[in-house]
Amino acid sequence: MSGTSARPPPISAARTPQAPEPTGWVGFIEFAGVLMVLLGLFHALQGLVALFQNDYFLVGTSRLLVHTNYTAWGWTHLLIGALIVVTGGSLVVGRLWARVVGVVLAVGSALVNAAFLAAYPFWSAIMIAMDVLVIWAVTVHGREVRAQDQRNAR
């Protein structure tokens, strides 16, 4: 027998899962981050209108899904908007926590806009569509961003 047999790979290398190869969809994650910043700014704008111009909306507060005054809605939109802007910026730079928090905030944003739908239907529907787009991009293609970051770190 010859002593030139091939060596098996080390056990640790054989068990290491392969990270997915980044594709063109990685840019879509960055787009989702920019979209989140825009969504947060829209929330802030909607919050400021609710705080300072109560008569702007289509219905009175008694006809909203959640019966509260527009001042409470304004602060809710401002708070969510600020959180979404920070998370969207962190998503653009590839932070892992931003993927998780971004999905949670996008779901929360969609629910808040659904509750606010009677007051501002067209605007709220557009924001819900943006939320769904962010959730899809982050959940479907989020791993590719991490794989690209690991490759860039090498």
Q: What's the maximum distance between 2 C-alpha atoms anywhere in the chain? A: 92
pTM for the whole structure: 0.73
pLDDT per residue as tens, the chain (154 positions): 555 666 655 555 545 556 556 666 677 888 899 999 999 999 999 889 878 877 666 555 555 666 667 788 789 889 999 999 999 999 988 888 999 999 999 999 999 888 878 777 888 899 999 999 999 988 887 666 665 555 555 5
Helix (H, G, I), strand (E, B) or coil at 133: helix
Q: Cβ–Cβ contacts within 10 Å for residue 52, how many? A: 11
CB 35 within 8 Å of CB 143: no
